[in-house]
Amino acid sequence: MRTGEGEGVQSDQRVSIRRRGVQRLAEETWGSGRSIWSSDVGDRVLIVDRIEVGERPAPQWVAEALGLEPGAAVCVRSRRFVLDGKPVQLSTSYLPAELVAGSAITRADSGPGGTYARLAELGHKPVRFREEIRTRMPTAEEAEQLELPSGTPVVHICRTACAGGGRAVEVCEMTLDSASYVLEYEFDA
């Protein structure tokens, strides 16, 4: 087997999560009611063991990214994902509150296909995504929540989802346990 093929194995022999950056965000995934995680984990057991949903004023950088006035209300969805009994990701999504008010996005369970399927139902289907990826050391809180051994870095991904016309409809910050992931991007030239 050549490097990069297969399912990458960590030093503790746990199988890595192969995060398929392009396939996971394809409309055929969330548009068919599947979770974007289904591209990454297959039939492995993934649970969201912590979820908080609420409305609050947008942080400055979020307001700018979403094209909102400073302090405008956003719906905030914070989650912790656990795979095979191990916390692997923290995720916080910010969506314009006026756009998602009264929808399933404002509830803990947003339904089949998740947030992107609900945005499509609201007439704001994501048609373009942009992700920025950085690596860094975790904050003390992140290390605790992800149960990271000392010295383990994290991967920080910030994704912006845009609807037709270029309107940003979601900003999502993800913090990944770097020892649990292989980031994969496959696309045509």
Tens of pLDDT along 84-114?
889 999 999 999 999 999 999 999 999 988 9
Residue 167, in any domain of the structure: yes
Per-residue confidence band for 23, with pLDDT thresholds at 50, 70 and 90: low
User: How confident is the model over 121-150, as a mean pLDDT?
Assistant: 95
Please tell me the distance from the alpha carbon of residue 25 to that of residue 59, in angstroms, as a whole number.
25
Per-residue confidence band for 189, with pLDDT thresholds at 50, 70 and 90: confident
The pLDDT of residue 186:
77
Residue 160, in any domain of the structure: yes
Indicate if the pLDDT at residue 13 is higher than 60. no
Q: How many domains does the chain have?
A: 1
Please tell me the distance from the alpha carbon of residue 44 to that of residue 21, in angstroms, as a whole number.
18
The pLDDT of residue 39:
65
Indicate if the pLDDT at residue 9 is higher than 60. no
Residue 11, in any domain of the structure: no
Indicate if the pLDDT at residue 29 is higher than 90. no
Higher-pLDDT residue of 124 and 35 is 124
Residue 55, in any domain of the structure: yes
Q: What is the largest CA-CA distance in the chain?
A: 52
Residue 129, in any domain of the structure: yes
Residue 93, in any domain of the structure: yes
Indicate if the pLDDT at residue 21 is higher than 70. no
Indicate if the pLDDT at residue 146 is higher than 70. yes
Q: What rounded mean pLDDT belongs to the chain?
A: 85
Cα–Cα separations (whole angstroms), residue 113 to 18, 105, 107, 119:
20, 11, 14, 10
Cβ atoms 104, 111 nearer than 8 A: yes
Residue 27, in any domain of the structure: yes
Helix (H, G, I), strand (E, B) or coil at 165: helix
Over the stretch 63-80, which tens digit does the pLDDT of each residue have?
999 999 999 999 999 999
Q: What is the CATH number of the domain that holds 54?
A: 3.40.1410.10
Residue 187, in any domain of the structure: no
Domain coverage including residue 80:
17-182
